[in-house]
Amino acid sequence: MKRLQLQALLLLLTGCSTPSDRVHIPLEGSQGRTIARFYSGMIQGNESEEWILEDSAGLGIRLSALRALSPRLASTLDEIRDGEDRLERDQWNRFLKVLVEQSAHYPATLAELFPSGLPHTTKDSYFRLRVYGAMTTLQREIYVPKQALEDGLLNYWDRGGMLQYPAGTLIAAYHKNSSGATLEVTVKKRRSDGFWDFGVYDSSGRNVRHSSSPPTPFSAPVQCVGCHLGNMLYEPEESFIIGREGKTEGEYLVLGDRLRNPKIVELLDEHARRSDHVLGVYGTAYLTEILDLPPSRRTETQKKIASLFLALSRMPQTN
């Protein structure tokens, strides 16, 4: 008994305690919380969001939860932190690199990702847009599943003006040079927790870690997350210019005048709201196309969407 009392006294005097179950990470604020939730969801498990916690000390990793979900990743974290209860920025980046490598959610090839056919070969199922943006000097052909767009528009009002895509939605962007050749394809797939997993496939259709489009290569998903979960806002109206004259920032759709409808741009305000962490105004352009069609040429789903927006927004019928 005396020996135990002596040990307790020594611990009190030296300020020692039992090993902490918490490691501080260099993220803070609302944006830091969002980014932390994105990475926590990359590990599949029943408690996928619980290994990153927030308390009075800020954001941190709960070691016991991480060990239960991924012993291998927890072991790597132990090596990186070397007994410390705080990760510096470079250590956090090293941890993320391993996390991404161990949590890859994309198959090795594009053919495996799209077993029913690549988007450009199954065009009727996709809404296609041509885009210029700050990410690359190449033009991108973006393919968004019509079914996903229609789901987002049908439920737009029920979700309080939030344009969101169903889980499993796959959006593909073909990066093309001036000759029309595809140099790479970037993809994003919506997870069940509402975030997107980002990926890159090279010109041969192989899954790779970095984009190679000029002027700057980006690593996926780490640098993709910076823009998609960031707080930079773009002017929605500028997304509808024809071409890219004098424009250096943001995303610009290459559209004809018939798809430029200021009333729909103002109503959805899709770029500014970014309800689903998607930077493109795909829903805006698709809704404009639906309303531009003569009613007799609309599908039954498109008729429902048109009725919802014409009735609830008091927009005039364009045809």
The pLDDT value recorded for residue 173 is: 93
The pLDDT value recorded for residue 55 is: 85
What SS3 string covers the chain? Answer: CHHHHHHHHHHHHHCCCCCCCEEECCCCHHHHHHHHHHHHCCCCCCCCCCCEEEECCEEEEEHHHHHHHCHHHHHHHHHHHCCCCECCHHHHHHHHHHHHHHCCCCCCEHHHHCCCCCHHHCHHHEEEEEEEECCCCCEEEEEEEHHHHHHHHHCCCCCCCCCCCCCCCEEEEEEECCCCCEEEEEEEEECCCCCEEEEEEECCCEEECECCCCCCCCECCHHHHHHHCCCCCCCHHHHHCCCCCCCCCCEEECCCHHHCCHHHHHHHCHHHHCCCCCCCCHHHHHHHHHHHCCHHHCCHHHHHHHHHHHHHHCCCCCC
pLDDT tens digit string along 176-222? 988 999 999 999 999 988 889 999 999 999 999 888 877 777 777 77
pLDDT tens digit string along 213-259? 777 777 777 767 767 766 655 444 455 544 445 444 555 666 655 56
**Is the pLDDT assigned to residue 123 strictly greater than 70?**
yes
**For the range 18-21, what are the long-range contacts, defined as Cβ-Cβ under 8 Å and sequence gap of 24 or more?**
20/63, 20/85, 21/62, 21/63, 21/64
pLDDT tens digit string along 50-92? 888 888 889 999 999 999 888 999 999 999 999 999 999 999 9
The pLDDT value recorded for residue 62 is: 92
Q: What percent of the chain has pLDDT over 90?
A: 42
Phi, psi of 143 (to 5 degrees): -115, 115
CA triple 74-80-81, angle to 5 deg: 90
- Nearest residue to 185 via CA among 138, 244, 248: 138
Instruction: Enter the tokens of residue 164.
Output: 């969101």
Domain ranges for the chain, please list them.
21-102, 110-313
The whole-model pTM stands at: 0.81
CA triple 238-242-246, angle to 5 deg: 65
pLDDT tens digit string along 266-292? 888 887 777 788 877 889 889 999 998
